[in-house]
Structure 1
Amino acid sequence: MNKFKGNKVVLIGNGMVGSSYAFSLVNQGIADELSIIDLDTNKVKGDVADLNHCVAYSPSPIRINAGTYEDCKDADLIVICAGAAQKPGETRLDLVAKNTNIFKGIVDEVMKTGFDGIFLIATNPVDVLSYAVMKLSGLPKERVIGSGTILDSARLQYNISEIFNVAPSSVDANMLGEHGDSSLAHWSHANVAGKSVKEVLDNKDPNAAEEMFVKTRDAAYEIIEAKGSTYYGVAMGLARITKAIFSDENAVLTVSGYLEGEYGHDGVYTGIPAVINRNGIREIIEVALDEDEQKKFAHSVDVLKGFQAPIDEIL
């Protein structure tokens, strides 16, 4: 992929996550061009007009239009937010077969145009669907990225920041594994200015770390119960990944990447720290895991592999 191409995004799926992401792009001046595709063409028309009315106050100009799949042929980044939404009481992995079938139609249409950029996946279950997109598209693994645990990590950083009374951006802590119920907090390396978060929590209360992990892991269920779905947090996470790609940042972010021997596992997309630049995932960072974290990470991988099996049948 030519790293000196433009910054054109095609957004497929203009629901709450998609439209929140689109607003984030305009608000932060991240892209040069944005095409929006959705079955609800009336909503697309309305959002395009509404977003264009923001451009006068955006940090930089951006062209926004109601798109078709033909817009994908010269896109630099395609962001997929389409699919069935998670309902109250439903896990992300309950959505596997439903959304895999939706994605098959989407990716087939995209690849017919000759698209040769990067896919960024947000739809749940994001790890499993990132695997599906890689298989369906035939693109190299580094150019299919899932949002992974970027939101989970932001939630953990926020929760820790409340304890330490510092900005969330000053917290170095990540969630790893599935974006879902089998995720794990990387406590062995979580710190604020080098000070161990786990030690501080343990001194406060022996159960504090576990309680914070559960609060972080289950945050989506509480939000879904309260307002039907989550969208602002993941939209900002997608915008952050987009910025890292278009700015060729070599930024380390916890995205869903494809393992080929890293962490002792193969053939699965899961949330890990990775270096993101104009070519996608430059490399996966193998952080040290303690014995308990290794077991939990292995369990999370097993869960995801179990849900990948039906995808191979569908594809």
Structure 2
Amino acid sequence: MSVSLPPRGRGTASNPHNRFAAQRIIASDDGWYQEVPPSRATEVRAETAKTIITRNQSPDLPFDRSLNPYRGCEHGCIYCYARPSHAYWDLSPGLDFETRLIAKTNAAAVLEQQLSKPGYVPAPINLGANTDPYQPIERQQQLTRRCLEVLLRYRHPVTIVTKGALILRDLDLLSELAERHLLRVYISLTTLDDELKRILEPRAAAPSARLRTIRVLRGAGVPVGVLCSPMIPQINDCELESLLESAKGAGARSARYMLLRLPREVAPLFEEWLQAHYPQRAAHVLSLIRQSRGGELYDSRFGARFTGEGVFAELLQQRFAVACKRLGLNRRPEPELDCSAFAPPGGQLSLL
């Protein structure tokens, strides 16, 4: 099976069909056709958002609302469960997801409007539930920073999940949020192997940079944990204990993990990635995934989609629990973020 390697710095070379498109264009060699390779450059399109807070009722998530300043993600992680969402914008979940990005340029203004609505009840907002808020384009766009400025001004609690070392740019805001018990950060750490990181998460921060990020955040008084996600059978699951040890050594106090998820177009993209980088191991990897997903490559059921089931999944859970106990991770419940301090600027203050 011949599979094209991705362009350097990208997670995939493919741009699979957008499942919502009414027509499908298929290239055919008639002697005249000259294939034009898909663009490798990053394009950013501005979007004027009508709302910015997304609600969910998932029992698997520790939050009921989230905020995403961007659609698509330049990190290019081949396993990203958010890839299928790009089809809603008439774009491919493949290379388009990594290169044709959408920035919600009015995100901070809309956030302020929603927080100011009468009757709004505060609860922690997760920043980065779908795409990384500290992906490379944030350096110029600064949408995440502007949203954090609003949240700090309103004294609104927030949780952040990122694999971008760019988060340290906003240490001034993060420190003040943490001091007011309004912040918790999780750094996603998938591998300690630079070469695996290069092909798995091509434009994300290096493992050493993420560990340094944990260390600096902890030193600044920011509550920080590690998210070992995703755990991929026979690719990085062997690193679980060393990932937790390294994160603990850098200052992480809590930890979570998730088993690889392959919804919709992510499954064929991941299979193609396996054939390109691990052809001799591909069948075994996919077999273990199916054993953990009821015979399929994906299981969307609440309660099972994050951890899986079966022998491999149960062993992974046991390894995680044993390692966390040995390292002292998750020893104490994470303190609740303070929702009582919420105060829209200009609003009437309580006399009590």
TM range, normalised to the smaller chain? 0.3 to 0.5
Between structure 1 and structure 2, the one with the greater Rg is 2
- Give the TM-score taking structure 2 as reference length: 0.30
More strand per residue: 1 or 2? 1
More helix per residue: 1 or 2? 1
